[in-house]
With several copies, the nearest count.
Chain A
Amino acid sequence: MIRGTIVVNETICKGCELCIQACPQESIGLSDQVNIIGYRYAILVQDNCTGCVNCALVCPEAAITVYRQSKQSIKQKSTAQV
Protein backbone atom coordinates (compact mmCIF):
# COMPACT_ATOMS: atom_id res chain seq x y z
CA MET A 1 0.00 0.00 0.00
CA ILE A 2 1.28 3.46 -0.97
CA ARG A 3 2.11 5.59 2.05
CA GLY A 4 1.04 9.22 2.21
CA THR A 5 0.03 11.86 4.67
CA ILE A 6 -1.66 15.21 4.88
CA VAL A 7 -0.91 18.40 6.76
CA VAL A 8 -3.97 20.42 7.66
CA ASN A 9 -3.65 24.12 8.31
CA GLU A 10 -5.85 24.00 11.36
CA THR A 11 -6.06 27.74 11.87
CA ILE A 12 -8.09 28.15 8.67
CA CYS A 13 -9.99 24.86 8.61
CA LYS A 14 -13.72 25.38 9.12
CA GLY A 15 -14.62 21.83 9.90
CA CYS A 16 -16.92 21.44 6.93
CA GLU A 17 -16.14 17.70 6.82
CA LEU A 18 -15.98 17.62 3.02
CA CYS A 19 -12.51 16.13 3.22
CA ILE A 20 -13.71 13.50 5.65
CA GLN A 21 -16.33 12.36 3.19
CA ALA A 22 -13.90 12.52 0.29
CA CYS A 23 -11.31 10.33 1.96
CA PRO A 24 -11.59 6.73 0.69
CA GLN A 25 -9.42 5.53 3.60
CA GLU A 26 -11.51 7.17 6.31
CA SER A 27 -8.25 8.61 7.59
CA ILE A 28 -9.67 11.99 8.52
CA GLY A 29 -11.83 13.09 11.43
CA LEU A 30 -12.60 16.22 13.42
CA SER A 31 -10.79 17.45 16.50
CA ASP A 32 -12.57 17.81 19.84
CA GLN A 33 -10.98 21.22 20.30
CA VAL A 34 -12.25 24.22 18.38
CA ASN A 35 -9.71 26.41 16.67
CA ILE A 36 -9.35 30.16 17.04
CA ILE A 37 -12.17 30.84 14.60
CA GLY A 38 -14.44 28.50 16.50
CA TYR A 39 -14.48 25.37 14.42
CA ARG A 40 -13.51 21.82 15.16
CA TYR A 41 -10.85 21.10 12.55
CA ALA A 42 -9.78 18.16 10.43
CA ILE A 43 -7.12 15.81 11.76
CA LEU A 44 -5.71 12.45 10.70
CA VAL A 45 -7.40 9.78 12.78
CA GLN A 46 -5.75 6.78 11.12
CA ASP A 47 -2.27 6.29 9.76
CA ASN A 48 -3.53 4.77 6.49
CA CYS A 49 -3.45 7.86 4.28
CA THR A 50 -2.38 7.01 0.72
CA GLY A 51 -1.88 10.61 -0.36
CA CYS A 52 -4.65 10.27 -2.94
CA VAL A 53 -5.23 14.05 -2.79
CA ASN A 54 -9.02 13.69 -2.76
CA CYS A 55 -9.42 15.59 0.50
CA ALA A 56 -7.25 18.44 -0.73
CA LEU A 57 -9.21 18.73 -3.96
CA VAL A 58 -12.55 19.29 -2.25
CA CYS A 59 -11.27 21.52 0.55
CA PRO A 60 -12.84 24.99 0.16
CA GLU A 61 -10.18 26.59 2.33
CA ALA A 62 -7.22 25.06 0.48
CA ALA A 63 -6.13 24.02 3.96
CA ILE A 64 -4.66 20.64 3.09
CA THR A 65 -1.18 19.84 1.87
CA VAL A 66 -0.61 16.28 0.68
CA TYR A 67 2.58 14.21 0.67
CA ARG A 68 3.14 10.81 -0.90
CA GLN A 69 5.76 8.17 -1.21
CA SER A 70 7.94 8.94 -4.22
CA LYS A 71 7.41 6.78 -7.33
CA GLN A 72 10.82 5.05 -7.14
CA SER A 73 10.52 4.31 -3.43
CA ILE A 74 7.28 2.53 -4.33
CA LYS A 75 9.08 0.59 -7.06
CA GLN A 76 11.90 -0.29 -4.68
CA LYS A 77 9.41 -1.53 -2.09
CA SER A 78 7.53 -3.68 -4.58
CA THR A 79 10.74 -5.19 -5.98
CA ALA A 80 11.97 -5.75 -2.43
CA GLN A 81 8.89 -7.79 -1.74
CA VAL A 82 9.67 -10.07 -4.61
Chain B
Amino acid sequence: MKSEEIVVAGFGGQGVLSFGQILAYAAMMEGKEVSWMPSYGPEMRGGTANCIVIISPTRISSPIVTQFDTAVVFNQPSLDKFHPRIKKGGLLLYEQDGIINPPYREDIDILPVPAVREAIRLGKKQIGNMIMMGALLARRPLVSLDAVLVALKKSLPERHHHMIPLNEEGLRVGRQLAEKSRHEPSVLFPTES
Protein backbone atom coordinates (compact mmCIF):
# COMPACT_ATOMS: atom_id res chain seq x y z
CA MET B 1 0.00 0.00 0.00
CA LYS B 2 1.41 3.42 -0.93
CA SER B 3 1.09 6.35 1.40
CA GLU B 4 -2.23 8.17 1.46
CA GLU B 5 -2.56 11.91 2.05
CA ILE B 6 -6.01 12.94 3.21
CA VAL B 7 -7.56 16.26 4.14
CA VAL B 8 -10.67 16.48 6.28
CA ALA B 9 -12.34 19.89 6.32
CA GLY B 10 -15.51 21.59 7.52
CA PHE B 11 -16.91 24.09 9.99
CA GLY B 12 -15.66 24.30 13.54
CA GLY B 13 -18.36 22.26 15.22
CA GLN B 14 -18.55 19.50 12.65
CA GLY B 15 -16.00 17.26 14.31
CA VAL B 16 -13.53 17.16 11.44
CA LEU B 17 -10.53 17.04 13.76
CA SER B 18 -11.73 13.94 15.61
CA PHE B 19 -12.74 12.36 12.30
CA GLY B 20 -9.09 12.65 11.30
CA GLN B 21 -7.84 11.44 14.68
CA ILE B 22 -10.00 8.32 14.58
CA LEU B 23 -8.70 7.54 11.13
CA ALA B 24 -5.09 8.09 12.16
CA TYR B 25 -5.42 6.12 15.37
CA ALA B 26 -7.00 3.18 13.57
CA ALA B 27 -4.19 3.15 11.03
CA MET B 28 -1.56 3.33 13.76
CA MET B 29 -3.11 0.31 15.42
CA GLU B 30 -2.73 -1.55 12.17
CA GLY B 31 0.98 -0.82 12.24
CA LYS B 32 1.05 2.04 9.80
CA GLU B 33 3.03 5.23 10.17
CA VAL B 34 0.60 8.07 10.65
CA SER B 35 0.59 11.80 11.10
CA TRP B 36 -2.25 14.13 11.93
CA MET B 37 -1.86 17.86 11.46
CA PRO B 38 -4.64 20.26 12.40
CA SER B 39 -5.21 23.77 11.16
CA TYR B 40 -4.79 25.98 14.22
CA GLY B 41 -4.96 29.54 15.39
CA PRO B 42 -7.29 32.50 14.99
CA GLU B 43 -8.40 31.52 11.51
CA MET B 44 -10.47 29.06 13.53
CA ARG B 45 -12.41 31.99 14.98
CA GLY B 46 -15.77 31.56 13.30
CA GLY B 47 -14.00 29.95 10.36
CA THR B 48 -13.35 26.53 8.98
CA ALA B 49 -11.28 23.80 10.56
CA ASN B 50 -9.35 21.08 8.82
CA CYS B 51 -6.74 18.44 9.41
CA ILE B 52 -4.33 16.56 7.24
CA VAL B 53 -3.97 12.84 7.87
CA ILE B 54 -1.14 10.88 6.29
CA ILE B 55 -1.11 7.11 6.43
CA SER B 56 2.02 5.45 5.16
CA PRO B 57 3.91 2.16 5.33
CA THR B 58 7.13 4.15 5.81
CA ARG B 59 8.33 7.12 7.87
CA ILE B 60 6.43 10.29 7.04
CA SER B 61 8.60 13.25 6.11
CA SER B 62 6.27 16.20 6.32
CA PRO B 63 2.87 16.25 8.05
CA ILE B 64 1.96 19.26 5.92
CA VAL B 65 1.20 18.71 2.23
CA THR B 66 -0.65 20.89 -0.26
CA GLN B 67 -1.95 18.21 -2.68
CA PHE B 68 -4.16 15.37 -1.49
CA ASP B 69 -5.08 11.86 -2.57
CA THR B 70 -8.36 12.18 -0.77
CA ALA B 71 -10.47 15.04 0.51
CA VAL B 72 -13.38 14.64 2.93
CA VAL B 73 -15.27 17.91 3.14
CA PHE B 74 -18.29 18.97 5.13
CA ASN B 75 -19.13 22.42 3.78
CA GLN B 76 -19.02 24.71 0.78
CA PRO B 77 -15.98 26.84 1.73
CA SER B 78 -13.95 23.68 2.35
CA LEU B 79 -15.16 22.20 -0.91
CA ASP B 80 -14.14 25.33 -2.78
CA LYS B 81 -10.78 25.43 -1.00
CA PHE B 82 -9.70 21.82 -1.40
CA HIS B 83 -11.50 20.72 -4.57
CA PRO B 84 -8.66 22.07 -6.75
CA ARG B 85 -5.99 20.58 -4.47
CA ILE B 86 -6.94 16.96 -5.06
CA LYS B 87 -4.43 14.98 -7.09
CA LYS B 88 -5.46 13.71 -10.51
CA GLY B 89 -7.26 10.42 -9.97
CA GLY B 90 -7.86 11.28 -6.35
CA LEU B 91 -11.04 10.97 -4.32
CA LEU B 92 -13.43 13.68 -3.13
CA LEU B 93 -16.11 12.87 -0.56
CA TYR B 94 -18.46 15.63 0.45
CA GLU B 95 -21.50 16.14 2.65
CA GLN B 96 -24.36 16.96 0.29
CA ASP B 97 -26.31 19.06 2.79
CA GLY B 98 -25.59 22.77 2.38
CA ILE B 99 -23.62 22.47 -0.85
CA ILE B 100 -24.85 25.04 -3.35
CA ASN B 101 -22.25 24.68 -6.11
CA PRO B 102 -21.17 21.05 -6.39
CA PRO B 103 -17.69 20.10 -7.66
CA TYR B 104 -17.08 19.84 -11.41
CA ARG B 105 -13.72 18.14 -11.91
CA GLU B 106 -13.71 15.21 -14.31
CA ASP B 107 -10.28 13.82 -13.38
CA ILE B 108 -11.16 12.76 -9.85
CA ASP B 109 -13.54 10.32 -8.22
CA ILE B 110 -16.33 12.39 -6.66
CA LEU B 111 -18.74 10.95 -4.10
CA PRO B 112 -21.49 13.13 -2.60
CA VAL B 113 -22.78 11.68 0.69
CA PRO B 114 -26.13 12.70 2.25
CA ALA B 115 -24.69 11.87 5.67
CA VAL B 116 -26.64 14.44 7.67
CA ARG B 117 -29.95 13.40 6.09
CA GLU B 118 -29.24 9.73 6.74
CA ALA B 119 -28.09 10.45 10.27
CA ILE B 120 -31.29 12.31 11.03
CA ARG B 121 -33.20 9.37 9.51
CA LEU B 122 -31.32 7.06 11.89
CA GLY B 123 -32.30 9.46 14.67
CA LYS B 124 -28.84 10.66 15.77
CA LYS B 125 -27.35 13.65 14.01
CA GLN B 126 -23.99 12.89 15.70
CA ILE B 127 -23.36 9.75 13.68
CA GLY B 128 -23.16 11.68 10.42
CA ASN B 129 -19.37 11.55 10.59
CA MET B 130 -19.33 7.78 10.92
CA ILE B 131 -21.57 7.53 7.89
CA MET B 132 -18.99 9.64 6.08
CA MET B 133 -16.24 7.36 7.43
CA GLY B 134 -18.05 4.29 6.19
CA ALA B 135 -18.36 5.78 2.75
CA LEU B 136 -14.69 6.76 2.73
CA LEU B 137 -13.54 3.27 3.72
CA ALA B 138 -15.74 1.73 1.08
CA ARG B 139 -13.84 3.70 -1.55
CA ARG B 140 -10.46 3.65 0.19
CA PRO B 141 -9.96 0.61 2.40
CA LEU B 142 -7.32 2.37 4.48
CA VAL B 143 -8.18 0.66 7.75
CA SER B 144 -10.48 -2.08 8.97
CA LEU B 145 -13.88 -1.25 10.48
CA ASP B 146 -12.79 -3.02 13.66
CA ALA B 147 -9.85 -0.69 14.00
CA VAL B 148 -12.15 2.28 13.49
CA LEU B 149 -14.46 1.03 16.23
CA VAL B 150 -11.59 0.59 18.67
CA ALA B 151 -10.38 4.08 17.80
CA LEU B 152 -13.89 5.36 18.29
CA LYS B 153 -14.04 3.77 21.76
CA LYS B 154 -10.74 5.46 22.60
CA SER B 155 -11.97 8.85 21.49
CA LEU B 156 -15.46 8.72 23.02
CA PRO B 157 -15.81 9.52 26.72
CA GLU B 158 -17.11 6.54 28.73
CA ARG B 159 -20.56 8.05 29.12
CA HIS B 160 -21.05 7.97 25.37
CA HIS B 161 -19.98 4.35 24.83
CA HIS B 162 -23.59 3.28 24.61
CA MET B 163 -23.56 5.07 21.25
CA ILE B 164 -20.91 2.76 19.78
CA PRO B 165 -23.50 0.38 18.21
CA LEU B 166 -25.28 3.32 16.62
CA ASN B 167 -21.98 4.52 15.17
CA GLU B 168 -21.32 1.00 13.90
CA GLU B 169 -24.66 1.23 12.16
CA GLY B 170 -23.55 4.56 10.72
CA LEU B 171 -20.39 3.00 9.27
CA ARG B 172 -22.48 0.33 7.58
CA VAL B 173 -24.94 2.84 6.15
CA GLY B 174 -22.07 4.90 4.84
CA ARG B 175 -20.59 1.91 3.08
CA GLN B 176 -23.95 1.13 1.47
CA LEU B 177 -24.37 4.71 0.28
CA ALA B 178 -20.93 4.51 -1.31
CA GLU B 179 -21.78 1.26 -3.00
CA LYS B 180 -25.06 2.25 -4.61
CA SER B 181 -23.51 5.50 -5.83
CA ARG B 182 -23.05 5.92 -9.60
CA HIS B 183 -19.35 5.11 -9.54
CA GLU B 184 -17.92 1.61 -10.05
CA PRO B 185 -17.86 -0.06 -6.66
CA SER B 186 -14.41 -0.52 -5.12
CA VAL B 187 -13.06 -3.12 -2.69
CA LEU B 188 -15.83 -3.96 -0.23
CA PHE B 189 -13.96 -5.73 2.52
CA PRO B 190 -11.31 -4.02 4.66
CA THR B 191 -7.70 -4.65 3.75
CA GLU B 192 -5.76 -6.96 6.07
CA SER B 193 -2.43 -5.27 5.36
Contacts and interface: CB of A to CB of B under 8 A. Distances in A.
A33 to B, nearest CB: 8
A42 to B, nearest CB: 16
Contact of B46 (A14, A33, A34, A36): A14
B36 interface: no
A33 B99 CA distance: 10
B11 A38 contact: yes
A34 B74 CA distance: 13
Interface string A1-31: 0000000000000100000000000000000
A33 B100 CA distance: 10
Interface string B36-63: 0000000000101000000000000000
A37 B77 contact: yes
Nearest to A14: B46
Most buried by B among A14, A36, A37, A38: A38
Interface residues of B, number: 8
B35 interface: no
A36 B75 CA distance: 9
Interface size class of A (residues with CB under 8 A): under 10
Nearest to B76: A36
Contacts of A33: 98
Contacts of A34: 98
A14 B45 CA distance: 12
A5 B100 CA distance: 28
A34 B76 CA distance: 10
Contacts of A38: 11, 48, 75-77, 98
Contacts of B46: 14, 37
A59 B75 CA distance: 25
B8 to A, nearest CB: 16
Contacts of A37: 46, 77
Interface in A14-67: 14, 33-34, 36-38
Contacts of B76: 36, 38
A36 B77 CA distance: 7
A17 to B, nearest CB: 15
A48 B11 CA distance: 34
Nearest to A37: B77
Given A36-B76, A38-B11, 6 more contacts: A14-B46, A33-B98, A36-B77, A36-B100, A37-B46, A37-B77
Interface of A: 14, 33-34, 36-38
5 contacts: A14-B46, A34-B98, A36-B76, A36-B100, A38-B75
